[in-house]
Structure 1
Amino acid sequence: MATSYMEQLQAHFRTHNRVKEFVAHSAKVHSVAWSCDGKRLASGSFDKTASVFVLEKDRMIKENNYRGHGDSVDQLCWHPLNPDMFATASGDKTIRIWDVRNNKCAATVNTKGENINICWSPDGHTIAVGNKEDVVTFIDARTYRSKAEEQFKFEVNEISWNNDNDLFFLTNGNGNGCISIMTYPELKSIQSMNAHPSNCICIKFDPTGKYFAVGSADALVSLWDIRELVCVRCLSRLDWPVRTLSFSYDGKMLASASEDHFIDIAEVETGEKLWEVHCESPTFTVAWHPKRPLLAFACDDKDGKYDNSRDAGTVKLFGLSNDS
């Protein structure tokens, strides 16, 4: 009998279930993300810095620490096509674009508020950044100048383009569980979907362009058909608000995490549990490698402090060989 994809992955994780920690910062890590070629992993921290590691076989080597922000780095993202550029969003009312080739800041862009989320358009031309006042600013990634700005009347939790670059999605945190969809670049509102009975927190699109997933305060993950905009299934193994999501490179696995002390890895087409990654504290950021079944994540510090904790400042990898 042929071995199913799910069985193959479970067999892989049985021999690659090691979680290895790498010290990246002096305080809590807020965000982790892989470069588009998978050669580097970046992290942003409460300590006001970003760090970049280089992946060599089954180990990470710290390449550089990027300083310049005057407040916490709450989220970061890589250029979708250029593996040498990444952007950071900070509470210091700026975003910074960094070039790993010279380890320098390529540009600093001033914004109107304390920034909490950031994403890069699939074509690489635009960076969108959201702040605590629910203003989303669209920045030209070539001139580093603002080209549009939208003030929303609802709490914006996370933002993302679809893979085709013609729609812009926002998760609503006003308690009504809506996803707002706008045309891009026109930024005309076309739909507000009632996705969950409570706040929608995070949103991710799968690399194949078939699905997107939404994590909610109701502890559910909903999986949506991108063409029909209908929910095809819900995952309900977490007990706390879903804080972070990531699809694997082939779109077949979905990792979700929360204040539960584990990361749920599901098979997308069935919703069944493939694996569970145990953690000692809440996990608020996860990111699958763009070419292999390797998951980066970072946990909150166990004591609710920003120091004196084994988890504070570390980046973790799941999926390394147990022999490494």
Structure 2
Amino acid sequence: MATGSLVTRAEGHAHGAVTAAAAHPTVEALAATAGTDGTLRLWDMEGRRCLSVAALSAPASCVAWSPDGSVLAVGSGEDTGGGFTREPAGAGTLTLLRADTLEAIHECSDASGSALAVKFSPNGALLALASADGRAYVYDARGGRFSLVYVLEHGE
């Protein structure tokens, strides 16, 4: 693998681009991908196969695992064909899913632009979403609440 050569080709996200990928924080052979086809997929990298698929409410632009690997955060927005850009109100969606079942446990659309990046704090207490609207949205992730606690304005 160190050579960078193609080991295998895994089929998935057939109707769109893969826009995000994240390795599981503790399980070496598990990864998640998300794409413009509006799906999140879990992959067994050793077995080289897709384990499960979740349909999302919009094209996905970013994905992150919680530090303990129990939750997946997916940022979405409208893909205009030229990438994820600033969009009308409600365009940026954050979806939280249970990693074991891919059941949606929380969804919100606080951002008025497409989600560009999503990241949990190292201790899992906070979750940050960067948006094309020029803001970062920070959520309290403790106890599965995912309540908005800060909006950081980047300005012009």
**TM-score (normalised: structure 1):** 0.41
Give the secondary-structure state (helix, strand or coil) at the position aligned to 2:9: strand
- Identity percentage of aligned residues: 22
Alignment of 1:150 onto 2:108: yes
Give the secondary-structure state (helix, strand or coil) at the position aligned to 1:102: coil
1:164 offset after TM fit, Å? 0.6
Q: For 1:153 and 1:179, how far apart are their aligned partners in 2?
A: 8
**Matched residue type, 1:85:** L
Alignment of 1:67 onto 2:25: no
Q: Which runs of 5+ in 1 are unaligned?
A: 1-53, 199-324
**Matched residue type, 1:100:** M
1:187 offset after TM fit, Å? 1.3
Q: For 1:61 and 1:153, how far apart are their aligned partners in 2?
A: 39
Q: For 1:108 and 1:116, how far apart are their aligned partners in 2?
A: 16
Q: For 1:158 and 1:100, how far apart are their aligned partners in 2?
A: 23
**Matched residue type, 1:164:** N
Alignment of 1:96 onto 2:96: no
Q: For 1:98 and 1:85, how far apart are their aligned partners in 2?
A: 6
Q: Is the 8 A contact 2:98 2:104 kept in 1?
A: yes
**Matched residue type, 1:190:** V
User: Residues 179 and 153 (structure 1 numbering): CA distance in 2 closer, same or farther, change over 3 Å?
Assistant: closer
- 2:131 — aligned with what? 172
Say which of 32, 35, 56 aligns to 1:111. 56
- 2:85 — aligned with what? none
Q: For 1:71 and 1:119, how far apart are their aligned partners in 2?
A: 20
Q: Which runs of 5+ in 2 are unaligned?
A: 78-90
Q: Is the 8 A contact 2:92 2:131 kept in 1?
A: no
1:105 offset after TM fit, Å? 0.5
User: Residues 100 and 153 (structure 1 numbering): CA distance in 2 closer, same or farther, change over 3 Å?
Assistant: closer
Higher Rg of the two aligned structures? 1
**Matched residue type, 1:66:** A
**Where in structure 1 do 4 or more consecutive aligned residues deviate above 6 Å?**
none
User: Residues 62 and 103 (structure 1 numbering): CA distance in 2 closer, same or farther, change over 3 Å?
Assistant: same
1:179 offset after TM fit, Å? 2.3
- 1:24 — aligned with what? none
Within-5 A mapping of 1:185-264: 185-194=144-153, 196-198=154-156
Give the secondary-structure state (helix, strand or coil) at the position aligned to 2:105: strand
Within-5 A mapping of 1:132-147: 132=77, 133-147=91-105
RMSD, aligned α-carbons: 1.5
Q: Is the 8 A contact 2:111 2:131 kept in 1?
A: no
Alignment of 1:121 onto 2:80: no
1:68 offset after TM fit, Å? 2.1
1:169 offset after TM fit, Å? 0.7
Alignment of 1:181 onto 2:138: yes
Q: For 2:47 and 2:131, how far apart are their aligned partners in 1?
A: 38
What count of residue pairs does the alignment treat as equivalent? 139
- 1:322 — aligned with what? none
Within-5 A mapping of 1:296-307: none
1:123-176 residue CA offsets vs partner (Å, 9 max, x unmatched): 10011111113111111111121111111242232111110101011123224x
